[in-house]
Structure 1
């Protein structure tokens, strides 16, 4: 299908970009951002200044979207109408996205699985899933608009969102995901809730970009650093974190993505390096077949989404390993499993040489 081909093709482009990235990082060694490549961002900024048609058009679209964010009032977790089991409205709360009330019982229990079909209840303002995604999206637009334009209004707006979500005692979220992806009548929370925080990377990037220009004062940075330390410790020791650490599919890759980045943010480089080294066997060896297929992702009803998303995160981890001297990109298991092979597996489908033979329900957005 067209959506599948477009998505897969975007990952071939991502592959080529990653190859360049890895080579340049070894040479340059100047990247200060954890989750983004500062060398590439700088090159894009130069092309915008030179009125390059492609990047100037994209930059214009970014500014339009970021400007819309200036009038949007931050929507913290304390605004939800459902109180978490803890009784603390500061705790993040969501329900399992693919679980639905049972149509055959009066009380809807037990909830049933409809893999790949999002329950509209998840998206209401009663819970936090939608507001979390909007916060991450807003910070991404505003931080990039500030980086490229250097217009302080975008930085100030991004700061106000971070202040609301992570600094202000009256509105900030607690540093845990104890009640993420719960299932009514069954689980208050599950390990799956952690994947909803994968894009906390945008918060880290925004803080790094703003802090480089002294947008935050010392007291604010102290509060932010404490929040991230507490979240990291929770994720490292809580049962949901441990289950993700020992898991076998995309949830575990996304767990590493968070943990490596936050460890680096906190200056815990040895812990980040150790986790990346472990990813060779814990992620590449267990998630990718010798032929490059990702069996656990291909078995889902949204196989394109999960195969491509998981591979993108694996590649991001490989890039994050470069400044720490860990080469995930070139790693090949004794039986031939590698990130490169996973890209080659997708290549013929992206190029249209073969038809995608696995299940993919619904529409598909590019990752």
Structure 2
């Protein structure tokens, strides 16, 4: 009987591993043409960093990232006074040039790393190095490793903790570096300087007033803080930090944000409950993807009252597969633009061998162009994570 039980266990493990390989290969086949096309575009691009454009509203310097808070507008009752909040309604007049540059940077590195992973061609790494050095090494163009002046509000704040969410687009940059770091075209000196930038940013995220406030937020902001720091810590091999983030996910993030049915009540209370629920679950999914180890597998972790990442995906999936089933009010903006090929679907499918989730992922938009969607979709190159 013991031998029979062992046989079934080994068979199950073998089937699970085969299923994951199969989903990965299928995803590779689905994305191959798109990846090579995006990489061809990336090969023609020159670096654009935060130094390319500045705003007179910023109290920082030329090398400091600056943006304005999305949902703040001039007050009709006091046009020259402090801006007021209109939750969920993006002000199109805001300065977001640095955010756009970072999103573009992420797209370039994600595309080049994906193409390198598919082909092994060093030309993609050589091009990536040009952009990586521009952002993290070259004194004339680099970005300072802080977000002290992000999502400022005219008349009340020169930079807010909420603005730290702007660097979610660096997670694929960090992962792209991991994929390419053994290539001959990325020399040790440049790699060391790049990693030093990320180590400095991790320190700022954990010690600055804004960083600590973001870390202790109760909604998607803290989830995105964990996702970011996890990605950066993985790159620089900060095992102490990685262990602390696993603890934080299991003891703070999951139990405090997720309800027992798998929903996120604080996201459901927003004016964009659908989009924010997807966004937060994507972040939770990436936390599990980045931090899980054979000894500490967050994909399998479950709280005493049954909260788990699989429950979160299972809760939201019916509404992603068929948005008409959503029973709450539509989002105040961008309702028609969601969902797209969400990370929660492809990574969830890969981990739990769920072909329904994978099939839905394939059917959705694999290359969205709406700026708001892209802003809230930091992981757009799934193969470099699998």
Task: Please classify the TM superposition score into its range, dividing by the shorter chain length.
Answer: 0.7 to 0.9
Q: Distance in 1 between matches of 2:89 and 2:319?
A: 24
> Deviation digits for residues 214-252 of structure 1, max 9, x if unmatched?
222222122112111111110110111111221111110
User: Which has the higher mean CA deviation after the structures are superposed, 198-207 or 340-349?
Assistant: 340-349
Q: Structure 2 vs 1, CA of residues 250 and 76 (structure 1 numbering), >3 Å: closer, same or farther?
A: same
Q: Which residue of 2 aligns with 1:73?
A: 46
Runs of 4+ in 1 over 6 A off after TM superposition: none
2:176 is the counterpart of 1:245: no
Q: Structure 2 vs 1, CA of residues 247 and 364 (structure 1 numbering), >3 Å: closer, same or farther?
A: same
Q: Distance in 1 between matches of 2:242 and 2:263?
A: 27
Note the C-alpha offset of 1:257.
0.9
Q: Which residue of 2 aligns with 1:119?
A: 91
Note the C-alpha offset of 1:130.
1.2
Mapping 1:94-105, distance limit 5 Å: 94-105=67-78
Aligned partner (choices 257, 271, 278) of residue 301 of structure 1: 271
Q: Distance in 1 between matches of 2:276 and 2:214?
A: 16
Aligned partner (choices 265, 272, 297) of residue 235 of structure 2: 265
Q: Which residue of 1 aligns with 2:10?
A: none
Q: Structure 2 vs 1, CA of residues 142 and 292 (structure 1 numbering), >3 Å: closer, same or farther?
A: same
Note the C-alpha offset of 1:140.
0.9
Note the C-alpha offset of 1:124.
5.0
Mapping 1:223-234, distance limit 5 Å: 223-234=193-204
Q: Distance in 1 between matches of 2:22 and 2:72?
A: 40
Structure 1 length-normalised TM: 0.80
Q: Structure 2 vs 1, CA of residues 85 and 222 (structure 1 numbering), >3 Å: closer, same or farther?
A: same
Q: Which residue of 2 aligns with 1:63?
A: 36
2:248 is the counterpart of 1:278: yes
Mapping 1:152-301, distance limit 5 Å: 152-301=122-271
Asked if 2 retains the 8 angstrom alpha-carbon contact of 1:84 and 1:179, the reply is no
Q: Distance in 1 between matches of 2:197 and 2:57?
A: 20
Asked if 1 retains the 8 angstrom alpha-carbon contact of 2:82 and 2:153, the reply is no
Asked if 2 retains the 8 angstrom alpha-carbon contact of 1:273 and 1:326, the reply is no
Note the C-alpha offset of 1:117.
2.2
Q: Which residue of 1 aligns with 2:55?
A: 82
Alpha-carbon RMSD across the aligned residues, in angstroms, is 2.6
Paired residue secondary structure (2:150): strand
User: Which has the higher mean CA deviation after the structures are superposed, 351-360 or 213-222?
Assistant: 351-360
Structure 2 length-normalised TM: 0.76
Q: Distance in 1 between matches of 2:23 and 2:318?
A: 33
Unaligned runs of 5+ in 1: 1-22, 29-38, 48-53
Asked if 1 retains the 8 angstrom alpha-carbon contact of 2:65 and 2:143, the reply is yes
Asked if 2 retains the 8 angstrom alpha-carbon contact of 1:84 and 1:91, the reply is no
Asked if 2 retains the 8 angstrom alpha-carbon contact of 1:140 and 1:206, the reply is yes
Note the C-alpha offset of 1:197.
0.7
Higher relative contact order (CA 8 A, sep 6+): 1
Paired residue secondary structure (2:277): helix
User: Which has the higher mean CA deviation after the structures are superposed, 134-143 or 316-325?
Assistant: 316-325
2:82 is the counterpart of 1:110: yes
Q: Which residue of 2 aligns with 1:33?
A: none
Q: Distance in 2 between matches of 1:188 and 1:41?
A: 49
Asked if 1 retains the 8 angstrom alpha-carbon contact of 2:112 and 2:124, the reply is yes
